[in-house]
Structure 1
Amino acid sequence: MHELSRIIRGMPKSELHLHLEGSIEPELTFRLAERNKVRIPFESVEQLRQAYAFADLQSFLKVYYAGTSVLLKAEDFYDMTRAYLERVALDNVIHTEVFLGPQAHLDRGIAIEAIFEGVIAALDEWGPKLGMSTALLLILQRHQGEEAGTAAYDRAMRYRERIAALGIGGIERGHPPANFARLFARARAEGLHLLAHAGEEGPAEYVAQAVDILGVDRVDHGVRCEEDPALVRRLAEHGIPLTVCPLSNVKLGGVARIEDHNFKRLLDAGVKVTMNSDDPSYFGGYMTDNYLATAEGLGLTVADLHRVAANGFEAAFVPEADRRRMLAALDRFWVAEGLPLPAGATPRS
């Protein structure tokens, strides 16, 4: 594991499934609460951390939404985004695509300008400073329904040139992807990439709906696809990526232990799985943490690590020249470490 740890820490990475609001560390929550004179129901950073014990997705979302209460002004959204970028730069993340969910903020009366302009300003300033490319993903809350989602989408489209994709998240059970078919068809016609959280707590059927009805480019989570072997084969054959978040799945009770996760089985089945952190502040792990835990718990090999990292770059919403550049950086690292490239591969330049 020592060699794998060195490789994991040093290799260039992408992150494709990250909720900005889930990256706020308790220390920043308290600083923003003090700055904005917002009362939060915790007496200390330690007490807030202790509240991060969740039975399921819904119990997590209750704490998660409470944590958004400190975000009021553009500078708050800027500070949140900057803090995330600075943290993942330490994990050698060279490309990240971040979810921003405006509904929870709009419902609190926060101006759309504060939400988007604070985040965009931080991405524009700190991405280049840290040598990191970035993309912004709009995510809607499925449990609020398509009508409410469409209203939020319409408001967010004033920042259309900065939004790479439309996704849905939130409470999955009882809210199938098909409910958003009309809005997703519209977004596709308007040139957006498409995503959907599916198969985290919901069944494999939700993954199939995301692919067949919504026409998504990637499935966020997707791990319950394994309940349907034919669906797994389709995902593999069509190269539809899954943005898997192993520590999140453990924290929310999707699996009891990392050793029980199906990440390795899906990888071996040819599914384009990628590694991500989801809500790292709440789930106790950024990118390196997820790689390390998964590698140790599931026995990932050096070849597995290369394939997962390459999957992330291949699944990214970037120009082809940027994709080749990122894949070449991964190969250069492998060669510099004296590691064998996957069978049939040659170093990319």
Structure 2
Amino acid sequence: MELRPFLEKLPKAELHVHIEGTLEPELSFALAQKNNVSLQAKTPQEMIAAYNFHDLPSFLDIYYAGMSVLKDESDFYQLTMHYLRKAATQNIVYVELFFDPQAHTSRGVSFDTVINGIHRARSDAAAELSVQTNLILCFLRDMSAESAMEHLMMAQPHLDKIIGVGLDSDEKNNPPAKFSAVFEKARSMGLKLTMHCDVNQDNTLEHIRQVIEDIGVDRIDHGVNILESEALCNLAREKKLGLTVCPVSNRFVVQSLTSAEIKKMLQYGLMPCINSDDPSYFRAYLNENFIALQEEGDFTVKELVTLAENSFKASWLPDAQKQAYLADLQDYVSEYQEI
């Protein structure tokens, strides 16, 4: 079987993609001109050349600076539609999108502006592209818990647009426990919970323990270091927690797509799935992540299909919708293997 075309057409879900991380240089320049924002780079190519990051803090510096071009509701609409059109071309049929409202309100853009632009694009993409989405509000862990709670309250009028909350940004000295009250409140509001535990961060095993035992998350973002603890692996397996691994993103942090670790996760009965994280900055959307992972790790067809299945199983969709997507996936695999 030729795996590249098989992977490109494979129906899949994406559970770990930051909408701000899909801002392509060309769109950034167009929005900068529209909003009279000055950029350091003179061309999109020069902007890409400046993506010189080697760890989480160096990436975040560039990531947050790039958001300056996003000003009004139409900007967030364009950003989201641009990603969802790309998702449709990659046979991504379902997406749970992260967004970072604090990164926008802190520079004078209202919460309503951000979420209404994103939501309008979600509605249009469902009708025009047959890409279904849900939205996850992420709190910035290098800001205060009080700010996170304030933004959770801002979200109350929009709970019909949000399926869950997450935690991202710089992990150093910002443990999950810092936000325990915020996440407890979010759960009481009927929201699902996830938190980033990025690769090789300080105190990463304690952070993973906190998200599972103390916070009680429904999913873990990244989480590769869980393999260093048999006890934590057992907990995640018992609770059927999905782990949203981002291979190309990992390569910028640990110089590896972590293909060996992903194989171990599968062997241990964990539930990893493959995601793109910030595809514009890492220059790889979901298909490119699958293809690069296969090239590095020589995964079997069964393993690749399992990773795709996990993206639906770990989603926050109702069971009936999960089963419908999984049936479509199996139909595709069966038809492809018969060719």
TM bracket (short chain): over 0.9
Report if the CA contact (8 A) 1:18-1:279 is conserved.
Answer: yes
| 2:232 alignment partner in structure 1 | 231
- TM-score (structure 1 length as normaliser): 0.94
| 1:240 alignment partner in structure 2 | 241
| 2:159 alignment partner in structure 1 | 160
5+ long unaligned stretches in structure 2: none
| 1:331 alignment partner in structure 2 | 330
5+ long unaligned stretches in structure 1: 340-349
| 1:131 alignment partner in structure 2 | 130
Report if the CA contact (8 A) 2:197-2:222 is conserved.
Answer: yes
1:139-175 C-alpha deviation (Å, 9 max, x unpaired):
0001102111111111122211110001110101211
Report if the CA contact (8 A) 2:247-2:258 is conserved.
Answer: no
Q: Alpha-carbon deviation of 1:261?
A: 4.8
Task: Note the 1:266-345 alignment, pairs <5 A.
Answer: 266-338=265-337
Q: Identify if the C-alpha distance between structure 1 residues 228 and 199 changes in structure 2 by more than 3 Å, giving closer, same or farther.
A: farther
Tell me which amino acid in the other structure corresponds to 1:35.
Answer: K
Tell me which amino acid in the other structure corresponds to 1:128.
Answer: A
Q: Alpha-carbon deviation of 1:199?
A: 4.0
1:98-118 C-alpha deviation (Å, 9 max, x unpaired):
001100100001122211110
Task: Note the 1:133-282 alignment, pairs <5 A.
Answer: 133-202=132-201, 203-251=204-252, 253=253, 255-258=254-257, 261-282=260-281
Report if the CA contact (8 A) 1:139-1:166 is conserved.
Answer: yes
Secondary structure of residue in 2 paired with 1:270? coil
| 1:75 alignment partner in structure 2 | 74
Report if the CA contact (8 A) 1:245-1:277 is conserved.
Answer: yes
Secondary structure of residue in 2 paired with 1:109? coil
Report if the CA contact (8 A) 1:18-1:99 is conserved.
Answer: yes
Residues of 1 paired with 2:61 and 2:303: CA distance? 36
| 1:49 alignment partner in structure 2 | 48
Q: Alpha-carbon deviation of 1:233?
A: 2.5
Q: Alpha-carbon deviation of 1:238?
A: 2.4
Residues of 2 paired with 1:22 and 1:54: CA distance? 14
Residues of 1 paired with 2:109 and 2:76: CA distance? 11
Secondary structure of residue in 1 paired with 2:195? strand
Report if the CA contact (8 A) 2:15-2:96 is conserved.
Answer: yes
Q: Alpha-carbon deviation of 1:335?
A: 1.0
Residues of 1 paired with 2:82 and 2:237: CA distance? 35
Residues of 1 paired with 2:267 and 2:64: CA distance? 36
Residue range with higher mean Cα deviation, 70-79 or 49-58: 49-58
Residues of 2 paired with 1:20 and 1:282: CA distance? 12
Residues of 2 paired with 1:238 and 1:83: CA distance? 35
Q: Alpha-carbon deviation of 1:259?
A: 6.2
Q: Alpha-carbon deviation of 1:128?
A: 2.6
1:255-290 C-alpha deviation (Å, 9 max, x unpaired):
223366511111211110011000000011101001
Tell me which amino acid in the other structure corresponds to 2:101.
Answer: P
Residues of 2 paired with 1:141 and 1:123: CA distance? 23
Q: Identify if the C-alpha distance between structure 1 residues 245 and 3 changes in structure 2 by more than 3 Å, giving closer, same or farther.
A: same
Report if the CA contact (8 A) 2:17-2:96 is conserved.
Answer: yes
Q: Alpha-carbon deviation of 1:45?
A: 0.7
- TM-score (structure 2 length as normaliser): 0.96
Tell me which amino acid in the other structure corresponds to 2:62.
Answer: V
Percent identity (aligned): 36
Residues of 2 paired with 1:9 and 1:45: CA distance? 26
| 1:34 alignment partner in structure 2 | 33
Residues of 1 paired with 2:173 and 2:162: CA distance? 28
Residues of 2 paired with 1:20 and 1:129: CA distance? 19
Residues of 1 paired with 2:23 and 2:260: CA distance? 26
Report if the CA contact (8 A) 2:247-2:259 is conserved.
Answer: no
Root-mean-square deviation over aligned CA pairs: 1.4
Residue range with higher mean Cα deviation, 261-270 or 137-146: 261-270
Q: Identify if the C-alpha distance between structure 1 residues 304 and 112 changes in structure 2 by more than 3 Å, giving closer, same or farther.
A: same
Residues of 2 paired with 1:173 and 1:331: CA distance? 42
Residues of 1 paired with 2:20 and 2:112: CA distance? 17
Secondary structure of residue in 2 paired with 1:143? coil
1:306-336 C-alpha deviation (Å, 9 max, x unpaired):
1111111011111222111100110000111
Report if the CA contact (8 A) 2:274-2:290 is conserved.
Answer: yes
Secondary structure of residue in 2 paired with 1:144? coil
| 1:59 alignment partner in structure 2 | 58
Tell me which amino acid in the other structure corresponds to 1:76.
Answer: D
Report if the CA contact (8 A) 1:199-1:223 is conserved.
Answer: yes
Residues of 2 paired with 1:157 and 1:220: CA distance? 24
Residues of 2 paired with 1:300 and 1:174: CA distance? 36
Q: Identify if the C-alpha distance between structure 1 residues 259 and 247 changes in structure 2 by more than 3 Å, giving closer, same or farther.
A: same
Residues of 1 paired with 2:234 and 2:112: CA distance? 43
| 1:343 alignment partner in structure 2 | none
Secondary structure of residue in 2 paired with 1:213? helix
Task: Note the 1:13-32 alignment, pairs <5 A.
Answer: 13-32=12-31
Q: Alpha-carbon deviation of 1:5?
A: 1.2
